[in-house]
Amino acid sequence: MTASNNTVIQLNHVNYFDGDVHILKDITGSFPEGKITTLVGPSGAGKTTLFRLCNGLISPKSGEIYIKNKPITDYEPTTLRRNIGLALQSATMISGTVFSNLALPLSLQGKQLKEEKAKELLRDVRLDEEFLYRNVKDLSGGQRQKVSVARTLVNRPKVLLLDEITSSLDRVSQQDIEELIVKINQKYRTTIIWITHNLQQALSVGDYTWVMMNGEVVETGETSLLDNPQDERVKQFVEGVNV
Amino acid sequence: MSYLTLALALIFVLIPILLSKTLNLGLEKDTIVAVIRSTIQLLAVGYVLQFVFDSESMIFIILMIMLMIFAATHNARKKGVTIKGITWKLVSTYVFIEVLTQSILLGFHIIPPTAQYIIPISGMMIGNSMVLSILFLNRFTAEIDTHQDKAELILSLGGTPKQAIHKQLITSIQASTIPTIESQKTIGLVQLPGMMSGQIIAGADPIQAVQFQLLILFLVLTSAVVTSAMLGFLSYPSLFNNRMQLLKNDKNT
């Protein structure tokens, strides 16, 4: 994938260190606008760090990141983060109810979320309306992940960074979320970048795929590359995960 | 009280040492060091105060207050080393507390402008402010560590640093000021304050002692809340860089 007018995020020789540990090594690549790109690879490959860089939570130690052909540093951080939504696997919640969590993105802007809109968000992620005023302490891991995705959608981001958002869900719920994300992508042309360990999921929803290992991008291309990887390490990884 | 009588008070030092030895508490060395240090420090302060009181010079009063602020800062800064520029934030807080309280006390002629009043009250204010700042910094740094994920969540959704840290800041201010407020609720019922007790023992009229003690209590209340709030609002911006990123937050890969 090369930089073009259709590129929403472009990374050029991006390096990131945590202390002395080299987490991301000379990452160069781009994410096409309006498409679903999946990020696959073993744990510790640097995928979540890449998301945190794209959301502006951290900055690279060297290299450049461009958002819509403008350096990421040209964007005001709050505007950038509202437009590049991030839903993490940990599905961190603020204490309170599901509603207070869904209302959080707007309350940070001094706005209010209407109850009807909150119920619509819950329906989108296949959660019953009765969850709206339930305390988040009483939610299961899967329910938290659904609320986390719904909360990220409140800002109507142009790019959605999804970090293993279905890892705690049963198969039926996984399919529900996959359908929802594909629907959002098609309806709003939202760019989706999705970290998943589920290669079947990557194959069914993704247009493009990045395979990351040990802080490097090992292989990129159309998602079908997972059926026939060129790199020996990717072959071993795919066989190990057993598509 | 003569020095001989004071020497007899050492019985109260022997009791904990004997208990520590009997129960193998291992506190003997620390107890002896604490006793020696407090004796030397207090005697030295006594002579210094006598000199300052006799000189009646405002320069010596200011020097004494500066010394107190320096010592308080040196002690409290260890709890906030992770916060950039903590030394100057502490100095600013203590100076502000001192200026605020003394301006009111002297401005409204609540106390006369003499070393005998200014120095002990300054000592109590700065000392109380130091304890409060230690309590606040302890809690605030722990809150940030524990709830880093929540702060990052708010940032990731487009919140500002102030919004990201607001809950931790308020919790820390509340937690550090609660002991002061709670202890004031039971004062006179559970414990008689040291200053009031000292005045009564020295032969002062109990009602006058109470009046002075009330003055100190109100000052302590102000210094507690102002210290925590001021230190909090001075400190939180240092936790973020100009890209609104929480510093030292690189924990996920």
pLDDT in tens, B40-58: 998 898 899 899 888 888 9
Position B252 scores a pLDDT of 43
Answer yes or no: is B247 within a domain: no
A-chain residues within 8 Å CB-CB of B240?
none
Residues B105 and B31 in one domain: no
Of B150, B158, B253, the CB nearest to A81: B158
Of B29, B55, B81, which one is at a domain's C-terminal end?
B55
* Residue burial B170-204, b: 16+ Cβ < 10 Å; e: rest: eebbebbbeebeeeeeeeeeeeebebbeebbeeee
Answer yes or no: is B223 within a domain: yes
Q: Would the CB atoms of A90 and B152 count as touching at under 8 Å?
A: no
CATH number 3.40.50.300 given to A7-91+151-241: yes
Position A242 scores a pLDDT of 54
Give me the half-sphere count of Cα atoms (radius 13 Å) on the Cβ side of residue A168. Answer: 17
Q: Classify strands A70-71 and A62-67 as parallel, antiparallel or unpaired.
A: antiparallel
Query: How far is the C-alpha of B125 from the C-alpha of B222, rounded, in Å?
Result: 9
Q: Assign B29 to helix, strand or coil.
A: helix
Domain that holds residue B23: 1-55
Q: Would the CB atoms of A109 and B243 count as touching at under 8 Å?
A: no
Position B211 scores a pLDDT of 87
In chain B, count H helices and then E strands.
10, 0
For residue B76, what are its two tokens? 């409290």
Q: Would the CB atoms of B153 and A152 count as touching at under 8 Å?
A: no
pLDDT in tens, B50-102: 998 888 889 999 999 999 999 999 999 988 888 999 999 999 999 999 999 99
Give chain B's contact residues with A (Cβ, < 8 Å).
Answer: 149-150, 152-160, 163, 167, 243-246, 249-253
Residues B218 and B231 in one domain: yes
Answer yes or no: is B253 within a domain: no
pLDDT in tens, chain A (243 residues): 445 568 999 999 999 999 999 999 999 999 999 999 999 999 999 999 999 999 999 999 999 999 999 999 999 999 999 999 999 988 999 999 999 999 999 999 999 999 999 999 999 888 999 999 999 999 998 899 999 999 999 999 999 999 999 988 888 888 888 998 999 999 889 999 999 988 999 999 999 999 999 999 999 999 999 998 888 999 999 888 754
Which chain A residue is nearest to residue B248, measuring alpha carbons? A18
pLDDT in tens, B130-189: 999 999 999 999 999 999 999 999 999 999 999 999 999 999 999 999 988 888 888 877
Mean pLDDT of all residues in B117-137: 93
Residues B16 and B61 in one domain: no
B-chain residues within 8 Å CB-CB of A90?
149
Which chain B residue is nearest to residue A213, measuring alpha carbons? B253
For residue A113, what are its two tokens? 């979320």
Position B131 scores a pLDDT of 93
Q: Would the CB atoms of B155 and A57 count as touching at under 8 Å?
A: yes
Q: Would the CB atoms of B156 and A105 count as touching at under 8 Å?
A: no
Instruction: List the domain boundaries for chain A.
Output: 7-91+151-241
Distance of CA B1 to the CA centre of its chain: 29
Q: Would the CB atoms of B244 and A77 count as touching at under 8 Å?
A: yes
Of B32, B55, B78, which one is at a domain's C-terminal end?
B55
Residues B6 and B84 in one domain: no
Answer yes or no: is B152 within a domain: yes
Residues B140 and B196 in one domain: yes
DSSP notation for A7-28? EEEEEEEEEEEETTEEEEEEEE
ipTM over 0.85? The verdict is yes
Position A60 scores a pLDDT of 97
Q: Classify strands A21-32 and A7-18 as parallel, antiparallel or unpaired.
A: antiparallel
Residues B4 and B108 in one domain: no
Residues B35 and B106 in one domain: no
pLDDT band at B105 (very low <50, low <70, confident <90, very high): very high
Answer yes or no: is B218 within a domain: yes
Of B55, B73, B98, which one is at a domain's C-terminal end?
B55
Position B250 scores a pLDDT of 44
Which chain B residue is nearest to residue A22, measuring alpha carbons? B253
CA-based nearest residue to B229, from B171, B160, B146 = B171
Of A46, A55, A109, the CB nearest to B156: A55
Count of CB atoms within 10 A of residue B9's CB? 9
A-chain residues within 8 Å CB-CB of B158?
78-79, 81-82, 105, 108-109, 155
Residues B165 and B77 in one domain: yes
Residues B132 and B155 in one domain: yes
CA-based nearest residue to B68, from B12, B110, B3, B130 = B130
- Number of folded domains that form chain B: 2
pLDDT in tens, B109-118: 999 999 989 9
Q: Would the CB atoms of B158 and A108 count as touching at under 8 Å?
A: yes
Residue A60 near residue A18, CB atoms below 8 Å:
no
Size of interface A-B (CB pairs under 8 A): 74
Answer yes or no: is B252 within a domain: no
Position A4 scores a pLDDT of 56
Residues B13 and B128 in one domain: no
Q: Would the CB atoms of A23 and B253 count as touching at under 8 Å?
A: yes
